[in-house]
Amino acid sequence: MKYEAVLFDLDGTLTDPKVGITKSVQYALSHHGIQVDDPDTLIPYIGPPLIVSFQEIHSFSEKESMQLVEKYREYFKDRGIYENELYDGIQGLLEMLTQQGRKLIVATSKPTVFALEVLKHFGIGSYFEVVCGSNLDGTLSDKSEIINDVFKKTGVNKHAAIMIGDRKHDIIGARKNDIESISVGYGYGSDEELSAIQPTYYVKTVLELQEFFANDI
């Protein structure tokens, strides 16, 4: 078995958070004078750290972005966090990986407290030995820092670890930590984004992900 430890991104990889995240961003922007009629236009916010997205997508300053993140959380913590769906096949995948004896870890830019609640909500928290996310104050939000934090906390052998995610930030974070990666095509990264970033592997579906690990024995 080549990969003894499997690191998972959360949003767009384990769960589909589109409704909750886009509505939370819509809520935050409305309190800053920007009305967004179609929440689907806010899909690019799924994946990267929010404070970065508010600056890059809507050109807010860092200070304004921090204020927007606080507004975002007003909606998200009570409603948006539950407007979410587990991707079909994920629970079966986690069960298979656990039975194979692999160490499963969540590495997400979402604040750890929210990530833990999402995993609990879907009844999959017990599959993961460690959940590493960002802090509520915005620190430790870069994916490369989060992955590095995983290794600090677990002592996992990098040569036996792989990162799975749906956005370029997951692959960049893996590369900066000298570990291999899998991009998944069912999440929110475009084909152009994922091909340009050159992950170690690319799969289109959860079933292909399961087949990948079924053959890694």
CA 97 to chain centroid: 19
Nearby residues of 106 by Cβ (< 8 Å), 6 or more positions away: 7, 8, 9, 10, 14, 115, 119, 128, 130, 131, 132, 133
Q: What is the pLDDT of residue 217?
A: 79
**Residues 94, 73 share a domain:** no
Q: Which among 182, 129, 130, 156 has a CA at the least distance from the CA of 4?
A: 156
- Tell me the C-alpha distance between 187 and 17, whole Å: 10
For the chain, list residues with pLDDT below 50: none
Q: Which among 94, 91, 75, 92 has a CA at the least distance from the CA of 19?
A: 75
70-87 pLDDT, tens digit per residue, is: 999 999 999 999 999 999
Annotated active-site residue in 9, 11, 16, 170: 9
Asked about 9 being catalytic, the answer comes back as: yes
- Tell me the C-alpha distance between 127 and 9, whole Å: 14
* Domain's final residue, options 30, 64, 82: 82
84-102 pLDDT, tens digit per residue, is: 999 999 999 999 999 999 9
Domain of 45: which CATH number?
1.10.150.240
**Domain encompassing residue 141:** 5-16+85-214
**Residues 49, 135 share a domain:** no
- Tell me the C-alpha distance between 118 and 132, whole Å: 13
Q: Residue 207's CB: how many other CB atoms inside 10 A?
A: 14
What does the block give as tokens for 142? 């870069």
Q: What is the pLDDT of residue 138?
A: 85
- Tell me the C-alpha distance between 36 and 99, whole Å: 45
**Residues 209, 167 share a domain:** yes
**Residues 164, 133 share a domain:** yes
What is the domain count for the chain? 2
Q: What is the pLDDT of residue 1?
A: 83
